[in-house]
Amino acid sequence: MVRYLKWLVTALTVTMIAGFIVLVSVVVMRFNASGTVPLPDSLTLPAGAEASAITRGPDWLGVVTTDGRILIYGLDGKSLRQEIKVETGE
For the segment 48-85, what is each residue's pLDDT rounded down to a tens digit? 889 999 999 988 999 999 988 999 999 888 889 999 99
The verdict on 3 and 30 lying in the same domain is: yes
The verdict on 56 and 29 lying in the same domain is: no
For the segment 10-46, what is each residue's pLDDT rounded down to a tens digit? 999 999 999 999 999 999 998 887 767 778 888 888 8
Q: Are 55 and 62 in contact (CB under 8 A)?
A: yes
Asked whether residue 42 is domain-assigned, the answer is no
d(CA 73, CA 61): 5
Predicted TM-score of the model (pTM): 0.58
Asked whether residue 9 is domain-assigned, the answer is yes
87 pLDDT band, cuts 50/70/90, is confident
Question: What's the CA dihedral at 66, 79, 41, 65 to 10 degrees?
Answer: 0
Asked whether residue 65 is domain-assigned, the answer is yes
Percentage of the chain modeled with pLDDT above 90: 54
Domain residue limits at 23: 1-34
Asked whether residue 67 is domain-assigned, the answer is yes
